[in-house]
Amino acid sequence: RGEELAAVAAAVSSKKKARQIQHLKEVRAVERSNMRAEKSSKKTMYHAIPSEWGAAGVRCHRPLSTSDDFVVALASDAADPVPIFAAINSTVSNTRRRALDVVAFVGPACELGLRSLVKEHLTYDDSDLPPSKRRPELRVSVCGGLDDQLRQRPAMRALAMLRNSTRVKRKELLSAFNFAAFYLPHVLPARRILYLDTDVIVRGDVHELAKMALDGAPAAAVEDCSQHLNKYIDFPLADAYRAAAARRVRGRTFLAARGESNRAPLELRLLV
């Protein structure tokens, strides 16, 4: 009986010790994140995007509309135009919108091939059909140059430095196109942008997303239980960055208010 009690006590003690160790690890992780954030906050972390940045180097084979309320956008640096064309074609085939604008940002190796596919398969005249049978009025713009524009951003330049790192196993994830969605509001003047990955086949009507109420939210995304955001985003570090930047802003504002600095208060911007 005594041996059993001793074994139970040892097991409880072991579990308690394990919880304490785990708690200590979490505390240390937060401390490291705060130290990294504080160190980085001494550098220029937030970079305003000039209003002319988006359209400066982007070239499209047809002008982008300046009055669209809804645009479907895709971006890929793959050389094969077929996947991105399949995404566009499936989107067009399953919508009841009477007009649809699609903008595809691609690399030089894909640009001519995608234009050819769009011209061959998505250019049609169905004016002789009844309205219920007509396909939507489609405007597809194939654009190049976004990759060069993205590489000008400080965050993208820092990302490019990781290409020689042995810690990054999948180098293709360092492509600037993987982050294009975050910059599209600075490139496209649309009220709402639906960004699609180029490895999808659209089976639903994007019109539902065009009219969906976001209740004041700046963005929406599909639920995917197979993916965990904390695998890709260091949330404690992001919180620490935000807190460190806020401290710098308050400090500069205070100095400026006292007349000890002729620099304007730092304006918080999205880290891009």
pLDDT at residue 16 is higher than 50: yes
Of 4-13, 128-137, 214-223, 247-256, give the range with the top mean pLDDT.
214-223
Which helix (DSSP H) or strand (DSSP E) does residue 105 occupy? Answer: strand 99-106
pLDDT at residue 265 is higher than 70: no
Phi, psi dihedral angles at 102 (to 5 degrees): -125, 130
Higher pLDDT, 52 or 109: 109
The predicted pLDDT at position 103 comes to 93
The mean per-residue pLDDT over the stretch 25-31 comes to: 80
The mean per-residue pLDDT over the stretch 1-11 comes to: 63
Higher pLDDT, 240 or 105: 105
The predicted pLDDT at position 138 comes to 83
pTM of the full predicted structure?
A: 0.67
Give the type of residue at 91.
T
pLDDT in tens, 216-227: 888 888 877 677
Of 39-53, 85-99, 135-149, 233-247, give the range with the top mean pLDDT.
85-99
In whole angstroms, how far apart are CA 2 and each of 6, 9, 10, 15, 234?
Answer: 6, 10, 12, 20, 47
User: Alpha-carbon distance 270 to 43, whole Å?
Assistant: 15
Lowest mean pLDDT among 79-93, 146-160, 201-215: 146-160
User: Alpha-carbon distance 67 to 72, whole Å?
Assistant: 14
User: Alpha-carbon distance 159 to 171, whole Å?
Assistant: 11
Q: Are 33 and 237 in contact (CB under 8 A)?
A: yes
User: Alpha-carbon distance 250 to 48, whole Å?
Assistant: 18
pLDDT in tens, 254-263: 444 444 444 3
Higher pLDDT, 157 or 81: 81
Question: What does pLDDT average to over the chain?
Answer: 77
Q: Please report where in the chains the tokens 């999948």 appear, as a residue.
A: 170
